[in-house]
Chains A and B, each alone.
Chain A
Amino acid sequence: MDKNELLNNIRENVVTGMDDKVRDECRQGLEAGIPADEILDKALLKGMNEVGDLFSKGEYFIPELLVAERAMKAGIAVLEPELVKKPTQSLGKIVIGTVVGDLHDIGKNLAAIMISAAGFEVVDLGTDVSAEKFIEAVQRNKAKAVGLSALLTTTMINMGPIIKALRRAGFKGPIIIGGAPITQEYADNIGADFYASDAVDGARKLKLTITK
């Protein structure tokens, strides 16, 4: 199998969530001398971005995103020893978390998957995250952007104070918000830079903003 055929197979197996095949093919790729960062970019991330496109078109749903992520991660685990020898060029770090008072995280986790697939390094602070924790993580990681998630009307009201606290602490990068009750109007009202209707939309908007 030539290099392009193998990379294409890995990409296709990420798209269909075949983690065992991705793992085996990534091993084959390394053995054949394909650089780990090339397998990452041209097969794993490319496949995951294709999954995002299919999700946007309404052809893929939450399960397909989750199994594709598993397949991508299975491949990354194989590549990791090589990747750490020659760190890949990340687009930067994005700090994300579900805001204080809110314990939901499926939407936030899906966002983390798609933001990673877009080429960023995700610093996921988990759920119930206070303004102080966001500020500390942003400063420590020199974050390029921040993503805030909330599922409830009662917890989305905590987004505004966190955005204000981040700005007061000197963070100038874009802040993107998402979650079931969130609208563009709400994002505008609380001073967020963007609203994401779903995980794929959020990753796209971040990439467009940061790489423009």
Chain B
Amino acid sequence: MIEKPFKHGADFEHLRKVLMRETTKGPVPIIELFVDVDVMAEITGMDIPVDKATEFIRNFGWSNDPEVVLAGSRIMDLSLAFSQAMGYDYVTLTLLMPLPRTQSQLKENPQQGGKIRAWQNEHRGIITTRKEFEEFPWPAIDQIDVFPLEYAASKMPPGMKVVSFWTGIFEDLKLIMGIENMAIKSIKEPDLLNDILEILTVLAEAGVGMAAAHPATGAVLYADDMGFKTGTMLSPKFMREYVIPRHKRIADACHKHDKPFIFHSCGHVDALMKDLIEVVGIDARHSFQDNIEPVENVYRKYHDRISIVGGVDVDLLARATPAQVRARTRQILEACAPGGGFCMGTGNSVTNYCKIENYYAMLDETRKWNEEHG
């Protein structure tokens, strides 16, 4: 029998120490990148229009539909209620910024009883030429809004902090240009990519700096998918020239306020790990997939320099049995927990196609581990 919450009371200070590898003692904390709105709604029992809230998130708060904006405003309450119900040490929120991106298409998945997933146009973005770049309605720095942090500060229980999420510059580059167009332009017109990346970096430095400076923020989670299954999307050479030095500027904006900088990237990015650690100065790396590289391997290679966050493959959470999830969770804990600098969690996010009983099994096995090793 599994009882919620899996842990009583938020203790962000312990989570911070684990992220910064300042302790090998105490419970293994749990972190997620995202938890889908419908999962949070199901667990908390909160009545929220999932399709409208998902549209708000996937389109980064951009909508002319009042119902979408209203649903978006309730996501903060939902996230706070969910974090408290599940015993997380943090709530994930993002600053608002009116940056246009390629809009997602929402589609019901009949294989999931009609649950909604968002699909990004991968081919043609909203900047395809120099002219479109020059006419693009870039937001001003003073349009970055810290309201979610102010709101959370007034509502969070003692011990809880915000993990401030920021969409990475390479991610935004893809969202603005479309992956295919961006890839081709990286060879044919690299100066265009360079100019877009520079504007995104100035915005990210400001946004991450504002988030990190805010007392409600405990850490920054910077998400920049750079890889696919067998390698980086663009060459490591390109990434080292155009992206990694900018990641450093953004990490510096976070570190200026002594907040941990958690770096999320999907895919096979081992070719860039040395750069992320030595040049960017990341404190923690998130996102793992067993058929790319199991989290234990990554932990063995890098745990003496950064902390490792999450690791139970989302595919396992979607398709396996709770017993299999428990076995895999324990296997990961046995490999990664004793040395410290490790947080449990899914390999990516708690998506609406994960079985909730499997998500609970991962949490409950971690709870058991923590009690056995307390």
Contacts and interface: CB of A to CB of B under 8 A. Distances in A.
Interface of A: 17, 58, 60-64, 66-67, 70, 101, 103-107, 152-155, 157-158, 180-183, 197-198
A157 B231 contact: no
Interface string B72-83: 000000000000
Interface string B99-139: 00000010101111000010100100000000000000000
Interface in B170-223: 179-180, 183-184, 186-188
A58, A158, A182 — most chain B CB neighbours (10 Å): A58
Given A61-B232, A61-B238, A64-B235, 19 more contacts: A60-B235, A61-B234, A62-B228, A63-B183, A63-B234, A101-B109, A103-B105, A104-B119, A106-B180, A107-B228, A153-B319, A154-B109, A154-B111, A154-B112, A157-B111, A158-B111, A180-B228, A180-B289, A197-B230
B368 interface: no
A198 B291 CA distance: 13
A197 B235 CA distance: 18
B235 A61 contact: yes
B48 interface: no
Nearest to B292: A180
B353 A62 contact: no
A183 B319 CA distance: 14
A106 B111 contact: no
A154 B235 contact: no
Contact of A181 (B117, B119, B180, B315): B315
A159 B117 CA distance: 19
A13 to B, nearest CB: 13
A-B complex: 5 closest residue pairs judged by Cβ atoms = A63-B183, A154-B353, A153-B318, A153-B315, A103-B119
Contacts of B318: 153-154
B231 A61 contact: yes
Interface of B: 105, 107, 109-112, 117, 119, 122, 179-180, 183-184, 186-188, 228-235, 238, 271, 289, 291, 314-315, 318-319, 353
A197 B291 CA distance: 10
A101 B234 contact: no
B228 A64 contact: no
Contacts of B180: 66, 106
Given A63-B186, A67-B187, A70-B184, A183 B234 contact: no
B161 to A, nearest CB: 32
A179 B319 CA distance: 16
A104, A107, A153, A197 — most chain B CB neighbours (10 Å): A153
A58 B227 CA distance: 13
B179, B232, B238, B319 — most chain A CB neighbours (10 Å): B319
B110 A101 contact: yes
B58 to A, nearest CB: 14
B262 to A, nearest CB: 22
A101 B119 contact: no
B122, B186, B187 — most chain A CB neighbours (10 Å): B187
A103 B109 CA distance: 11
Nearest to A127: B119
A62 B122 CA distance: 13
A173 to B, nearest CB: 25
Contacts of A157: 111, 319
Contacts of B319: 153, 157
B122 A105 contact: yes
Contacts of B112: 154
A194 to B, nearest CB: 16
B228 A63 contact: no
A106 B122 contact: yes
A133 to B, nearest CB: 16
B353 A153 contact: yes
Given A101-B110, A105-B122, A64 B230 contact: no
A158 B235 CA distance: 33
B228 A17 contact: no
Contacts of A107: 228
A148 B21 CA distance: 44
Nearest to B352: A154
Contacts of B107: 103
25 contacts: A58-B231, A60-B235, A62-B183, A63-B186, A63-B235, A63-B238, A64-B235, A67-B184, A70-B184, A101-B109, A101-B111, A104-B119, A106-B122, A106-B180, A107-B228, A152-B117, A152-B353, A154-B109, A154-B111, A155-B109, A157-B111, A180-B229, A182-B291, A197-B229, A198-B230
